[in-house]
Structure 1
Amino acid sequence: MEHINKNRLFLASCLALITTAMTFAIRARLETVFGPEGIGLTLEQLGYAFAPAFFGFTIAMIIGGPLVDLLGIKKITWMAFITHAVGIVLTLMADTMTSLFIATLFVGIGNGFVEAALNPMVASMYSDEKTKMLNRFHVWFPGGIVIGALVGWLIMDVMGLSWKVMVASLFVPLALYGILFFGQKIPVTERVQLGISNKVMFSSVFKPLFLFMVLCMFLTAASELGTTQRIESLLKESVAAPLLVLAFINGIMALGRMFAGQVVHKLSPSGMLLYSAIFTFIGLWLLTITTGGMTFVAAAVFAIGVTFFWPTMLGFVAEHLPETGALGLSIMGGAGMFSVSVVLPIMGNLMDTASAGEALRTMSVLPAILIVAFIGLNIYVKKNKIVKS
């Protein structure tokens, strides 16, 4: 049998996630290009134009989840590559709300296929340390946002080049992950390895614990990505360069995820989620009252909060509900991204009609709800003595 090169596949996966993450940072910078000060879209219209990045992601995750087992991880990965490439080209050509909407939809679908294929691949390759390795893989979501934010700042703000040069920079990680995946043998998903039937997989996603985690994913993802995706508009009155705050937040997140193994050792996944919710709530509240340099302090607290949300939610499901398979991970990721597509226009409306502070105060309600939910999850885990499957 042809050898599976785990290191090469993991590196390729990280570069695919960097491509995904850079689209988030670059899209945040495009707020001013396409917004009231640029092409002339309102912030609410931008919310609708950017929403497909999230519901397109959801569509790809929900479709891609079951197809990963049927078609294999490799085919879904190449679908990600193709839709990413089309989305980048269409973004370069966009000049209206409709054309931006369509371009963003392709990018979102590409992003969704990346997660649909590669979360189960990482879980399959490192079945004995899923939460640790999923956190390490997801280092490159904030890491990629840092790269994208710095690239955008250097190209547009320092060098004064066109926004199209910034968007075209996405072709670099895209080409690299395509080259690294090319010709490689890719493992089957863990569900296929374990011989779990489709019937068991589909019935497992209706378990109360899984449905509870899906509902929590709506709130964790919206708290993190709803805030960071609109950082340019939210903080433009507070600091001179909001994109640097975005890079700062995601730098902290990348470092935290890199050392997630030690945190998992000290805290259970459910404990990590509770502490994350507490810090996220405090961070969002502080962002409503700080300006200048203190904004970075508030941003640091917020970053500590959201660092472990996404990968630990996936890790909890992969460890405690492995029978849900790639479908379970895809539903989780899809639910998270769908919630952001709902939140973005609402935040845009609040910023158009009220203020950025009002939008941040509204967002702080989400982690407040999560604090209560995760206290309940910790009690449930201890009461039922849930152990890793």
Structure 2
Amino acid sequence: MATTLNKARLFWLSVLALFTAASSLAIRGAIASGLKTEWIDPIAPLQAGELLAAALGAAFLSFAITLFVASAFLDQIGMKRCLLGAGLCFILGPLLIVTAGHLATGMTVYTLVWLGMLLSGIGWGLTEAAINPLTAQLYPEDTTHRLNVLHAWFPGGIIIGGLAGFLLSATLPWQGIMALVMIPAVATVAIAATTTFPPPLRSETGVGFGEMVSEVFRRPSFFIWFGAMFLTAASELAPGQWIDVALSNRVGMRGILLLVYVNALMFVFRHFAGRLANKISNPGLLWVSSLLAAIGLFMLSQAQSPVTAILAATVWGLGVCVMWPTMLASVAERYPRGGSWAMGLVGSAGALASFFVLPRLGAMFDQAKIEFAGGPEAFAALTGAAKLAVEDAAASVSFQRLAILPIVLLAVFGFIWLRERGKSRAALAGEAA
């Protein structure tokens, strides 16, 4: 492989594709209010919020489905076609979103926006389906470190996309900001089209699709990792989407700036996480991460000022920053014959976490604010500072309940960590004997 492939080019192409997916995610969130005001409010004023949330959620759902399907048939599709398709989706998706109001009228405008979001999610799914097994294939002896470095560029894309949406809103219309995603997307297509990719995993390992499926289903322990991926992603992505809504008023600073700060921590720390995992093992690193995530979420629920919010966000950010790539690396190392499908399955679990947990988080918030107010009628009568106080208390409850997820993970990863350490000691004792 080393004599025929440019590993560095392939790796940085993967970085570019993931950066495009992340910046697209951040920019979609940044332009959501402008999109709602200009195109959705006029056609459905009473349902605008629900419609917007459904459109944004379409990207998460299509991401999960695409990742599941493309991972299963990656050898047939090919990594090159996946990345070419991803780039095209990140061109066509934003193009549909920014031109919807000029191409149609009435609810057809919303339909085009929804399809644009759907295509963006498909691009994200094709990206993850290709780059994770590609990185594992290129660096089989250093998978955890390389996947963490690769996925450092997901928060990198969130930072750039989030800041672009925040800083350019005064000078560019939301359509112009959304269109920025097409720049790295075009570069992804151009580089992928002119790059030589490794042969399909099947030709190197001799493992066919049936054997990949068998590897997963004949080893029930895989589904522990599948469930853990759902919880780790929910501990990371759901609070990240909720932090601006829930904390901005109570702590006296924009929650989006906290999210940018947390993603900056992720960008830096993911470059070193692989080395730390080598010292304490992947389950050990994930156990420490879960502990910090639980403490950080509880601290966020109590934060009342910018200083306490930043401190809480630091603890939470350090906890969740390595979860996604370390989970992927753990599955790649423990279920090697599961190939791209095993990695795609756990990635789909992570994507579905946002799709299912975010609405539940919002429902918990709504329920708590009504309870604090003394009922629906009492809440409807609140205004000004009184209403904000009730919503702040409800936000605190929602973050406290989220902290339960990483507490569950402490038990899961603790069990795996102790079990694998016991096996290692037994193996060493056997060698010594």
Pairwise TM-score range, normalised by the shorter structure? over 0.9
Find the residue that maps to 1:259 and give its secondary structure: helix
> Which letter maps to 2:405?
L
Q: CA deviation at 1:184?
A: 1.1
TM-score scaled by length of structure 1: 0.92
With over 3 angstroms needed to count, the CA separation of the structure-2 counterparts of 1:209 and 1:189, relative to structure 1, is farther
Gaps of 5+ in 1: none
Partners of 1:204 and 1:323 within 8 A in 2? yes
Partners of 1:24 and 1:229 within 8 A in 2? no
> Which letter maps to 2:71?
G
For residues 153-164 of structure 1, what are the structure 2 equivalents within 5 Å? 153-156=166-169, 159-164=170-175
Partners of 1:131 and 1:311 within 8 A in 2? yes
Counterpart position of 2:281: 268
Alignment match of 2:177 (pick from 163, 166, 183): 166
> Which letter maps to 1:378?
W
Q: CA deviation at 1:232?
A: 2.4
For residues 89-128 of structure 1, what are the structure 2 equivalents within 5 Å? 89-93=95-99, 98-128=111-141
Q: CA deviation at 1:295?
A: 0.9
TM-score scaled by length of structure 2: 0.83
Q: CA deviation at 1:31?
A: 4.4
1:328 matched to 2:342? The reply is: yes
Alignment match of 1:358 (pick from 391, 397, 406): 397
Find the residue that maps to 1:57 and give its secondary structure: helix
For residues 1-389 of structure 1, what are the structure 2 equivalents within 5 Å? 3-33=4-34, 39=41, 45-93=51-99, 98-156=111-169, 159-206=170-217, 207-237=219-249, 238-290=251-303, 291-353=305-367, 354=369, 355-385=394-424
1:259 and 1:93 map into 2 onto residues whose CA distance is: 42
1:219 and 1:190 map into 2 onto residues whose CA distance is: 29
1:194 and 1:87 map into 2 onto residues whose CA distance is: 36
Partners of 1:51 and 1:344 within 8 A in 2? no
Partners of 1:57 and 1:110 within 8 A in 2? yes
> Which letter maps to 1:119?
N
With over 3 angstroms needed to count, the CA separation of the structure-2 counterparts of 1:53 and 1:350, relative to structure 1, is same
Indicate the larger mover: 122-131 or 90-99.
90-99
1:214 and 1:36 map into 2 onto residues whose CA distance is: 39
- Structure number with bigger Rg: 2
With over 3 angstroms needed to count, the CA separation of the structure-2 counterparts of 1:239 and 1:5, relative to structure 1, is farther
With over 3 angstroms needed to count, the CA separation of the structure-2 counterparts of 1:181 and 1:29, relative to structure 1, is same
Q: CA deviation at 1:369?
A: 1.0
Q: CA deviation at 1:44?
A: 5.1
Indicate the larger mover: 8-17 or 95-104.
95-104
Partners of 2:289 and 2:318 within 8 A in 1? yes
With over 3 angstroms needed to count, the CA separation of the structure-2 counterparts of 1:101 and 1:350, relative to structure 1, is farther
1:100 and 1:226 map into 2 onto residues whose CA distance is: 23
CA deviation map 1:295-327 (0-9, x unaligned):
111111111011110000000011111110000
Provide the alpha-carbon RMSD of the alignment.
2.3
CA deviation map 1:204-229 (0-9, x unaligned):
11121211100101111111111112
2:154 and 2:259 map into 1 onto residues whose CA distance is: 12
1:349 and 1:29 map into 2 onto residues whose CA distance is: 23
1:62 and 1:15 map into 2 onto residues whose CA distance is: 22
With over 3 angstroms needed to count, the CA separation of the structure-2 counterparts of 1:376 and 1:42, relative to structure 1, is farther
Amino-acid identity (%): 33
With over 3 angstroms needed to count, the CA separation of the structure-2 counterparts of 1:204 and 1:32, relative to structure 1, is same
Query: Which structure has more helix as a fraction of its residues?
Result: 2
1:188 and 1:286 map into 2 onto residues whose CA distance is: 48
> Which letter maps to 1:320?
R
> Which letter maps to 2:415?
G
Q: CA deviation at 1:90?
A: 2.0
Q: CA deviation at 1:231?
A: 2.9
With over 3 angstroms needed to count, the CA separation of the structure-2 counterparts of 1:97 and 1:367, relative to structure 1, is farther
With over 3 angstroms needed to count, the CA separation of the structure-2 counterparts of 1:192 and 1:228, relative to structure 1, is farther
Partners of 1:43 and 1:348 within 8 A in 2? no
> Which letter maps to 1:226?
A
CA deviation map 1:142-193 (0-9, x unaligned):
111111111111111xx34322222111112112222222221101344541
If asked which structure has higher relative contact order (CA below 8 Å, sep 6+), I would say: 1
Count of residues in correspondence between the two structures: 385
Q: CA deviation at 1:43?
A: 5.2
Gaps of 5+ in 2: 102-108, 370-393, 428-433
Partners of 1:43 and 1:349 within 8 A in 2? no
1:234 and 1:97 map into 2 onto residues whose CA distance is: 27
Find the residue that maps to 1:185 and give its secondary structure: coil
1:278 and 1:43 map into 2 onto residues whose CA distance is: 35
Partners of 1:217 and 1:336 within 8 A in 2? yes
Partners of 2:84 and 2:193 within 8 A in 1? no
Counterpart position of 2:378: none
